[in-house]
Amino acid sequence: MTESIVKPGLEGVFAGETSICAVRPEEGKLIYRGYDLHLLAEAVSFEEVAYLLLYHKLPNQSELESFDQQLKSYRDLPPALLETLRSLPSHGPAMDTLRAATTILALYDPDLEDDSPEANLRKSMRLLARLTTLVTAQHRISQGIEVISPNPKLNHAANFLYMLRGNSPEELEVRVLDITFILYAEHEFNASTFTARVVASTLSDLYGAVTGALAALKGPLHGGANEKAMEVLLEIGDPDHAEAWVLNALKEKRRIMGFGHRIYKKVDSRVELAKKWGKKLAEKEKNTRWHEICTIVEDVIRREKNLFPNVDFYTAPLYYLMGIPIKLYTPLFACSRVVGWSAHVIEQKQKNRLFRPNSLYIGPEGLDYLPLAKRNPP
């Protein structure tokens, strides 16, 4: 018998090839189809990044306008699906509702059974366009207030805020949310993306793969870190209390969400941008309290434990300043990451091989069978 090497969590295992994204932790870089994320986030819109991930290149002006118009044309939900949302329990977790609604949404897609690359691109765009509508509609229904229809004059980020709050967002808010969408759009073979690729490898449809990704994202070891991070900031409450709170939490061996990452051992390359734009928004809103707490917590944890924050720690206060309910932070993540999931599903299907790893059996062998009547009673 040849020796088997088990890698728990598949850590360090190359499970496939991709041309979509590269994480370079040693260099402090994240690359989307050859472009440094930092350059993209400062220079382009989320729609341009979405086009890049799906079509392998940045769009020219006419391509971007056409792509943008297509996305906007897909935003509305089928009326019957809205009625289904109204019939669901209003107290249910937002991620569960989003997962269920995504599965139902598949039934309304005319391309559902078409697995061609062209059809999958159309399905990807419909999902990208409609997830924000699903998230905001479900939230407003749960609050007993009227659902707001998409605004075709607004971009992806601005339209989300408009549908959520019912008023036109400020320019800086839109830019900051747009940048967080770019930061969250893609991140290589993370748990939800790998789940999507495993489902796609069975030749299931794109909606099934995305539903699987949403289920993986709900798990607190993968998604939800920005929600928990904001709860920490609210518990601290004041910059003057931050250092003592952290020291006490470390003494009690409490886990502080928003720190540490399987890939990034030193620095999450996305933090710099989230911190920079978060400070701008905090100063614009004349409310720097949360940014100050974040900075102190980061400094103390780095000093005491040599741990660094991940991007979720600094996006949490951004969303809070925009008035986005904490329970929507993970669904909002999905509204961006769905384009990355879709790109991976399409790539998986282009050169597919079913994922079917081996396992190392460690249970007993050679047990004697006893008839039911002779087995010892419990």
Count CB neighbours of 327 within 10 A.
14
Q: What are phi and psi of 23, to 5 degrees?
A: -100, 125
| 238: annotated active-site residue | no
Give the contacts of 266 (CB within 8 A, at least 6 positions apart): 25, 308
| Token pair recorded at residue 4 | 């088997």
Gap between the Cα atoms of 57 and 48, Å rounded: 9
- Angle value at C-alpha 136, between 258 and 112, nearest 5 degrees: 100
Token couple for 278: 């978060």
SS in 3 state form for 56-79? CCCCCHHHHHHHHHHHHHCCCCCH
Spot the catalytic one: 156, 261, 291, 344: 261
3-state secondary structure of 23: strand
Q: Is 96 exposed, middle or buried (0-12, 13-18, 19+ CB in 10 A)?
A: middle
User: Is residue 115 flagged as an active site residue?
Assistant: no
Which candidate in 109, 178, 268, 312 is catalytic?
312
Positions annotated as catalytic residues are 261, 312
